[in-house]
Structure 1
Amino acid sequence: MSGLAGKVVLVTGAGRGTGRVHCERFADEGADVIMVDHPDAEGDLHGTAERVEQRGRRAAVGAVDVTDRAEVAAAVDAGVRQLGRLDVIVANAGIHTPGGPAWQIDPREWQRTIDVNLTGVWHTVRAGAPHIGHDGGSVVIISSTNGLRGTAGAAHYTASKHAVVGLARTLANELGPRSIRVNTVHPGAVATPMVRNRATYRRLRPDLDNPTEADAAEVLTARNLLPVPWVEPVDVANAVVFLASDHARYITGAQLVVDAGLTQKTT
């Protein structure tokens, strides 16, 4: 048993993509979910809530920007009042904006990326950790393979994803005495709209005038040890659920990579 039945989980970026699948998987394990996403995704957020409720679990919804500390705190407080407790925090909200050489990145894109991907994570844990009870709990921060290695053309994203690893390691030290475990998950390419879009296809295949998904998949497959171009959102969600569960009760300060071997390929 995962030990998640009857627990309450906070998930940011819950409206779509992997965030929605995280919520579904936790509901499958018997947990209730506080879900947060940007006001622009409020319709998607309610769609995620419906999927959780269809699984017989309760859902609390907060449409807020994770860069606004007061908004995040208010949404988390309201969710805990509604669902009664908090046991797990999944800091999933993140963005990946167009890049280029580090010295050419628009300063506004740099700052927005840091604000969402790093400061938004801090806001989330700051708001949620005080609600986790004496029995302890788990914090899972979604980083990236870009949080483990340098990636040309994405200095802002790479810096933000490295930074949350340092934050997680510090939090693991600070929260360990309260029996709260803190870990990071590092996906490679995931089959979501963040990867499966025409802009990404053009970036991966600049040699073609109108590259298709299949053209891009060839490049992505060649980067991995396993013969696949990407992992599915549920593969990332399964890793998150594992780290949140009793099966990982003595794992903290760790980095779990879900990348089909991308970071280990040497040739």
Structure 2
Amino acid sequence: MGKLNGKVVLITGGGQGIGFGLAEAFAEAGANLVITGRTLSKLERAKEKIEGKYSGIKVAYFVADGSNEEEVKAALEGTVKEFGRLDTVINNAQNSASGVTLVDHTVEDFDKAIYSGLYATFFYMKHAFKYLKESKGSVINFATGAGLSGRAGQSSYAAAKEGIRGLSRVAATEWGPDGVRVNVVCPLVMTEGLIKWKEEYPELYEKTIQSIPLGRMGDPKDDIGRVCVFLSSDDASYLTGETITLQGGSGLRP
């Protein structure tokens, strides 16, 4: 299959969108998968699709709300019970009040982003560490260009994601001696939501595309997933604590 034969990768939010694209990329590379999310039917469909498409790949799933520490612990324990190991955790799932200005945010709006993103990442990292230490594994956390550039209407989302970046850097420092690597990816991806937005606001979509040097949105599997496969592989064994922008050049930094 590929460079990750025999590895086990857990992806939060793996039943749809970016998470499903990531799952396909890892399945293509030979990894067995664990996908988590809040909706059982989405996880079931994702398992069926991936196992039907990628021969020899096994997919397990656990219904888990990332903001619930006990459900996170149960998903991780179930992963190791099912496969006997855990090599990579990808914290992808996130919910937020997108498009709401800072002054219009409620505490509930802010909590939605912090709990579904920052707390979920914290819980998965904290309780996965003992397994990742055994496998000399890795963590890939998802952040956003909205936090790097200060995009309007994304205050709680950006705050949660920048918190995740800080958490990731500290973990990279603390866990490096144990051989566990932690990196961050900031993607710009074509998702179901963006497809709908493109249909509703075609002129704004075209303007957005024109601002991207490569002239397109990223593909969840081919553009984002394959970089994550690299980050979790031995090819990236000396890479940790970094933020990688996968935005077609629109996240250019000095």
CA distance in 2, matches of 1:96, 1:45: 21
User: Equivalent residue of 2:51, what SS?
Assistant: helix
User: Equivalent residue of 2:134, what SS?
Assistant: coil
Where does residue 230 of structure 2 map in the other structure? 242
5+ residue gaps, structure 2: none
Where does residue 191 of structure 1 map in the other structure? 190
Aligned residues: 251
CA distance in 2, matches of 1:213, 1:159: 26
CA distance in 1, matches of 2:21, 2:100: 31
Structure 2 counterpart of 1:127, which letter? H
Structure 2 counterpart of 1:195, which letter? L
Where does residue 218 of structure 2 map in the other structure? 231
Where does residue 177 of structure 1 map in the other structure? 177
Structure 1 position 194, deviation (Å):
3.0
Distance change (3 Å), C-alpha of 1:253 and 1:133: closer
Q: Note if 1:104 corresponds to 2:104.
A: yes
CA distance in 1, matches of 2:122, 2:253: 32
CA contact (8 A) 1:183 1:254 kept: yes
User: Equivalent residue of 2:184, what SS?
Assistant: strand
Structure 2 counterpart of 1:257, which letter? T
Distance change (3 Å), C-alpha of 1:214 and 1:152: closer
Q: Note if 1:73 corresponds to 2:73.
A: yes
CA contact (8 A) 2:5 2:29 kept: yes
User: Equivalent residue of 1:252, what SS?
Assistant: coil
Structure 1 position 226, deviation (Å):
2.0
CA contact (8 A) 2:2 2:28 kept: no
Structure 2 counterpart of 1:233, which letter? P
Structure 1 position 23, deviation (Å):
1.2
Q: Note if 1:49 corresponds to 2:42.
A: no
CA distance in 2, matches of 1:11, 1:96: 19
CA distance in 2, matches of 1:126, 1:151: 30
TM-score norm. by structure 1 comes to 0.88
Structure 1 position 34, deviation (Å):
1.3
User: Equivalent residue of 1:90, what SS?
Assistant: strand
**Aligned pairs (5 A) from 1:106-185:** 106-185=106-185
CA contact (8 A) 1:224 1:261 kept: yes
CA contact (8 A) 2:212 2:249 kept: yes
CA contact (8 A) 2:141 2:183 kept: yes
Structure 1 position 196, deviation (Å):
2.4
Structure 1 position 236, deviation (Å):
1.2
CA contact (8 A) 1:87 1:133 kept: no
Structure 1 counterpart of 2:218, which letter? V
CA contact (8 A) 2:96 2:112 kept: no
User: Equivalent residue of 2:6, what SS?
Assistant: coil
Structure 1 position 227, deviation (Å):
1.9
Where does residue 206 of structure 1 map in the other structure? none
Structure 1 counterpart of 2:159, which letter? A
Q: Note if 1:8 corresponds to 2:4.
A: no
Q: Deviations over 1:223-260 (max 9, x none)?
A: 212222x1111211112111111111100001111101
Structure 2 counterpart of 1:193, which letter? E
RMSD (Å) for aligned C-alpha atoms = 1.9
5+ residue gaps, structure 1: 202-210
Structure 1 position 213, deviation (Å):
5.2
User: Equivalent residue of 1:36, what SS?
Assistant: strand
Distance change (3 Å), C-alpha of 1:225 and 1:100: same
TM-score norm. by structure 2 comes to 0.92
Distance change (3 Å), C-alpha of 1:177 and 1:76: same
CA distance in 2, matches of 1:106, 1:128: 32
